[in-house]
Amino acid sequence: MQFIWDWFRWLYQTTGINLTIFYDSFDRHRFTDGFLMTLKLSLICIVLSVLIGVVGAWLQGSKLRVTRHVLHWYIQFFRNTPPLVQLYFFYFGVGSLLRSSLGTGNQPLVSNVTWAIISLSFFAGAFNVEIFRSGVEAVPKTTLEAAESLGFSRLRAYALIVLPLAFRISLPALNNNLVNLVKTTTLAYAIAVPEMLYVSSQIWSDELNVPVMMNVLLVCYFGLVGVLVYVMHRWERAIKVPGFGA
Amino acid sequence: MPDSDARPIVSIRDMHKSFGHVEVLKGISMDVPKGGVVCIIGPSGSGKSTLLRCINALVPIDSGSIRVANFDVHSLTTDKERLALRREVSIVFQQYNLFPHKTALENVMMAPIYVLKEPRDEVRARAIALLKKVGLAAKQDAYPGELSGGQQQRVAIARSLAMRPEVMLFDEVTAALDPETVKEVLNTIRELAAEGMTCMLVTHEMRFARELADTVYFTDGGVIVESGPPAVLFDQPKADRTRAFLSQIL
Ligand SMILES: Nc1ncnc2c1ncn2[C@@H]1O[C@H](COP(=O)(O)OP(=O)(O)OP(=O)(O)O)[C@@H](O)[C@H]1O
Ligand SMILES: [Mg+2]
């Protein structure tokens, strides 16, 4: 490995391209941790937001008016406000409220990373509910009726028939939203979550290599989103069913 | 041959059903003996589909009674009770309504596995036998999108049979098919009837009704206008409305 790091040092000395994240072990660790934090945020939020979407789309068919109303306002709130404001709302608003009401003093009950995960998952989840709902609505009522006539309960029909079909219909829209989610994780910067953008800004204020770090960031996000898109497309192809959907 | 002395397996008394302010069924009564084959004919919108859907508890009725085997369909309330009913009576739709993400075999296997909770191997063997029975042994791994309309409809019949029902309801199951494939499906139903399955068919295939039915019901405007053995109903209809309908369609 050492010769790689040496090469980057040589690159800096000959061209001025200062990639401290390679040859400087402190920066290298900072950046790797940041990258892993972004990865962690992305993966956890993807899973949680998809779960919120699946459960939300199911609850939207609920017979209870209250449930449908709560869901409606949840979606309105998270869709019609900026995600950065939501993040502040959770971290500074709800977070300090919790602190003062539980009297824990300055000791935060919920870490900034957790708030970022909660906030971003709810944000992307609101869109996922809408995405899955349109998928669920595109499943013919008659298919559901056939399931019912065979004795499937509503929950079982949803899990085994409606959801798998709705998923296939929703995948393109879901792809877009998840790509957006990965890019939105950069907002966690604002509440000092040490993700990739945050550590990069620390590095460039120490090393004064702003343009280089900017390019590093672009390449990293491009790669990260590229992998996500690739995986989603592979999945889309794998679950494609002949004669269903386009 | 139906045993006319025994208690009817389906018994409907003065059944009423409205959608909103529109009364679609205005007092239907009929009895179907075990092993009997009845055909229900009538103009579009006369409530034939609704009648079948009521028997299967897909839509609740407003008044009157429906009895299928040992179930009072009109007073079922829980999912569990409805499930018990649906083991006895199964419906096949005009649009097949197969599960598009499952192969033909999986379509047939799903309800017995997930609803009846029967062991997979057993269900699989039975499903393969059923597909063979409807002439689709070679297509067990095909998805609905890869099958013709007639083939899909036969899979749908096999799927219903997998619940081992006592009564089969067919709602214009050949209406969406081209003439060539109609025959395949009718043959399947013909065999079922010959094996003693109780069948209730809504159909526009008058020749088929004449051949197969013990009793034909002519419905119009939410009531049964006239009923009787096919030879009587088709050749000497009593009501003017029946005559008018038959002259249009034959
Ligand atoms: N779920 C529903 N909600 C409201 N009205 C309905 C519903 N289902 C059926 N109807 C109405 O009930 C009437 C009878 O419908 P039904 O489908 O039973 O007729 P049908 O005899 O099967 O006609 P077709 O031969 O066209 O299939 C129609 O006027 C229809 O519009
Ligand atoms: Mg109909």
Return the residue whose CA atom lies nearest to atom 9 of ligand 1: B50
Q: Calculate how close chain A gets to B58, using CA atoms only, in Å.
A: 7
Amino acid of residue B113: I
Residue B60, pLDDT score: 93
Return the residue whose CA atom lies nearest to atom 17 of ligand 1: B49
Residue B5, pLDDT score: 55
Burial of A208 from C-beta contacts in 10 A (0-12 / 13-18 / 19+): exposed
Residue A104, pLDDT score: 65
Band of residue A67 on the pLDDT scale cut at 50, 70, 90: very high
Does residue B168 surpass a pLDDT of 90?
yes
Q: Are B199 and B186 in contact (CB under 8 A)?
A: no
Mean pLDDT of B75-81: 87
Closest residue in chain A to residue B94, using alpha carbons only:
A142
Query: Which has the minimum average pLDDT: A135-144, A236-245, B103-112?
Result: A236-245
Return the residue whose CA atom lies nearest to atom 12 of ligand 1: B24
Does residue B25 surpass a pLDDT of 90?
yes
Residue A96, pLDDT score: 83
Query: Which has the minimum average pLDDT: B63-67, B98-102, B203-207?
Result: B203-207
Which residue from B15, B25, B28, B48 has its CB within 8 A of the most atoms of ligand 1, so it is best to mutate?
B48
pTM comes to 0.86
Contact B17 CB / ligand 1 (< 6 Å):
no
Give per-residue pLDDT as tens, B107-139.
Answer: 999 999 999 999 999 999 999 999 999 999 999
Contact B45 CB / ligand 1 (< 6 Å):
yes
* Spatial separation of the C-alpha atoms in residues A81 and A126, rounded to whole Å: 12
Does residue B3 surpass a pLDDT of 60?
no
CA proximity to A58, closest of A133, A145, A164, A142: A133
- Within 10 angstroms of residue B126's Cβ, the number of other Cβ atoms is 18
Band of residue A98 on the pLDDT scale cut at 50, 70, 90: confident
Give per-residue pLDDT as tens, B89-98.
Answer: 999 999 999 9
Share of chain B above pLDDT 90, in %: 83
User: CATH assignment of A34-239?
Assistant: 1.10.3720.10
Mean pLDDT of B227-235: 94
Q: Where do the domains of chain A lie?
A: 34-239
Give per-residue pLDDT as tens, A20-31.
Answer: 999 999 999 999
Residue A116, pLDDT score: 96
Q: Does A145 touch chain B (CB under 8 A)?
A: yes
Q: Which chain B residues have a beta carbon less than 8 Å from that of A242?
A: 143, 145-146
- Within 10 angstroms of residue A121's Cβ, the number of other Cβ atoms is 22
Residues of chain B that touch chain A, judged by Cβ-Cβ distance less than 8 Å: 56, 58, 79, 82-83, 86-87, 90-91, 93, 95, 97-101, 110-111, 114-116, 143-146, 156, 159-160, 163
Share of chain B above pLDDT 70, in %: 98
Residue A62, pLDDT score: 87
Q: Calculate how close chain B gets to A147, using CA atoms only, in Å.
A: 8
Band of residue A105 on the pLDDT scale cut at 50, 70, 90: low
Mean pLDDT of A108-124: 92
Question: C-alpha distances in angstroms, A166 versus A131, A178, B103?
Answer: 9, 17, 17
For tokens 């409205």, the residue is B18
* Spatial separation of the C-alpha atoms in residues A136 and A61, rounded to whole Å: 10
Return the residue whose CA atom lies nearest to atom 1 of ligand 1: B19
Tell whether the torsion through CA atoms of B215, B218, B224 and B228 is positive or negative: negative
Q: Which chain B residues have a beta carbon less than 8 Å from that of A140?
A: 97
Give per-residue pLDDT as tens, B194-217.
Answer: 999 999 999 998 989 999 999 999
ipTM given for this complex: 0.89
* Spatial separation of the C-alpha atoms in residues A204 and A33, rounded to whole Å: 16
Residue B14, pLDDT score: 96
Query: Element (H or E) spanning B16, and its range?
Result: strand B10-19
* Spatial separation of the C-alpha atoms in residues B220 and A3, rounded to whole Å: 90
Q: A159-195 as b/e, with b when 16 or more CB fall inside 10 Å?
A: ebbbbbbbbbbbbebbbebbbebbebbbbbbbbebbb
Q: Does A233 touch chain B (CB under 8 A)?
A: no
Tell whether the torsion through CA atoms of A102, A108, A109 and A114 is positive or negative: positive
Does residue B235 surpass a pLDDT of 60?
yes
Coil, helix or strand for A127? Answer: helix
Does residue B165 surpass a pLDDT of 70?
yes
* Spatial separation of the C-alpha atoms in residues A122 and A85, rounded to whole Å: 13
Burial of B130 from C-beta contacts in 10 A (0-12 / 13-18 / 19+): buried
Mean pLDDT of A148-171: 92
Phi, psi (deg, nearest 5) at residue B141: -100, 5
The CA-based angle B28-B33-B36, given to 5 degrees, is 100
Does residue B1 surpass a pLDDT of 60?
no
Q: Calculate how close chain B gets to A144, using CA atoms only, in Å.
A: 8
Q: A20 Cβ partners below 8 Å, 6+ apart? A: A27, A28, A203, A207, A209
Mean pLDDT value across chain B: 92
Mean pLDDT of A92-98: 86
